[in-house]
Each structure stands twice: as C-alpha cells, then as structure tokens.
Structure 1
C-alpha cells in the first residue's frame, strides 16, 4: 500500500477531515490532500506528529509493517477489560443491598425490595459469568498458559463464590443474623481447599493467579 493511501485510510479510521488534520499539524488542507493523493510526501518533521495523531509507529507508517501485540500486552489488555466488567458487577451488588435497605423499611414494599435485590444480583452474576467465559476463552486461545484443569478449577471457584455470595446476602437480609451468616465464607474457603487438594492429588497442580 502506498503512503498516500495509508494516510487516507488512517484519517478515515479516526473520523477526521482533511481540515482537522491540517489544523492539528499546522499545515494547509491542500497539503494534506497532496499527501493522500501521492502528489507530495510529508516532510520529515511531520512524520512523528502524523504517527502520534493516528496512533501508530513510524515503522508502521513508512513500511506498512504492523507491530504484533506481545502476549504480555494482550494479557494486560484482557485484564483491563475484565476489571471494568467486574467493577460494574460489584456496583450492582452494592445497589442490590441499597434496594433492600430502602424498600425494606417501607411498609408494603418489602416484596418489591426483595425482587429488585434478586434481579440486580442476577444481572451482576450474569455479567461476571459472561466476562469469565468470553475473556478467559480469548486469553486461553491467545496465550497457552492455562491448562484445562486450571480452567475447571477457576470455574468451580468462581461459581461457588457467586453462589455463596447470593445465599449469604439473601439469608442475611432475611434473618438479619449477620453475626452468624458470615460463617458461610469459612465453609466456602474450606470447600475450595478440599477441591484444590483433590486436583493436586490427581497430579494437576492448579494456578490460582
């Protein structure tokens, strides 16, 4: 691909007009047009600003060789996306508690509070399950660092943690026995240790990263 065609495609990808590019680079619109039609090539002092504007390296612009994303960069990108999705889920879990607190103190609206609580919990849980399935699958395909046993262990862990959270919050708000229901998390931890022991005894050491 010629340099002019490359500049044209990059500008279109950024949804910029020739006038906007010209203003950013402090050149005329006609100059940008000549670059893209192949009439002239950008001066050396405009190459770096062009690359910064379009988010590419000088090597990508001049040779067309796109830099491959390293496994570490890909993994970090996936982790950022997962963190964003999980933060939404946590916010929904908090919101579900707010529903119970608000409507639980209003006569004849207790049922509504419980319904909103369960719906919000279901949505938050669905987001977590979807995120785990989609992004863990992408990460596993791109970076061959997780075994099937690790994925199975992680799925069991996340599912059991979600179930424990749902049961814990539901029973706690229903009975208001917070001083007792927290024991569920100890039971959850013990169960996961037993499951981990089973995996290790089978010779499949699990990675809890």
Structure 2
C-alpha cells in the first residue's frame, strides 16, 4: 500500500477530517489533501507527528509507504547536484574577469591565457553536465509525484 493510501486510511480510522488532521499537525488542509492524493509527501516533522498520532512506528510508515524514501533520496540528490554547480560557476566568473581585465591586472603570457581559457571550457563542460543531471532528476521527480490514475 502506498503512503497516500495509508494516510487516508488511518485518518478515516481515527474519524478525522482533513481539516482536523491539519490542525493537529500544524499544516493546511490543502497539504493533507495533497498527501492523500499522492501529489506531495509529508516532510520528516509531519511524518513523526503522523506516526505518533496514529500509533504506528515511523519505520513501518516509511517501509509501507516506500515512495517517500525514494522521494527523499531524489530530493537529496537534486540538492547535492545543485550545490555542486556553484563552485564551477563562481570560478568561471573569476577566470573570465581575469582574462577580460588584462589591461588593468597586467598582461598574461599566451600560455597563461590559454590555460585559463581551457579551465573556463572545462568548467563550462562540468556545468553543462550538472545542469543536464539536475533537469533529468527534476523530471523524474515530477513524474514520480504525479498521482496514480
């Protein structure tokens, strides 16, 4: 059984409306609705509150609703990929400034300029790779969070 089905079933077993559950969890009723339709997953704090409220272990909740584990893994990978994009971007900006401001900073040798241009090209390749990975991960995350029809 998927997490959204477990959440809906447990809420109904406890004779709670979505509004009542939302109030107990400090979220909006729209958020509860999104969880129960499978559009989104609860964050870790909400999962802990749900497990306490429904007297079900967090482990069972996560194992039975294993989609949430996959979603957390994908979001973690996406955040990591986005984090790795900053360094090459900043380095490229610095290198471009160095090459473009040679009059101000002093003329670089042809070898120095060539090495900097190669570094810019390599960093650009890294950025293209990470950008492609981020887009691919975002697409698979969007597909996996669509409700089952």
Relative to the length of structure 2, the TM-score reads 0.41
Of the two, which has the highest radius of gyration?
1
Select the structure with the greater relative contact order (CA < 8 A; seq sep ≥ 6).
2
Relative to the length of structure 1, the TM-score reads 0.31
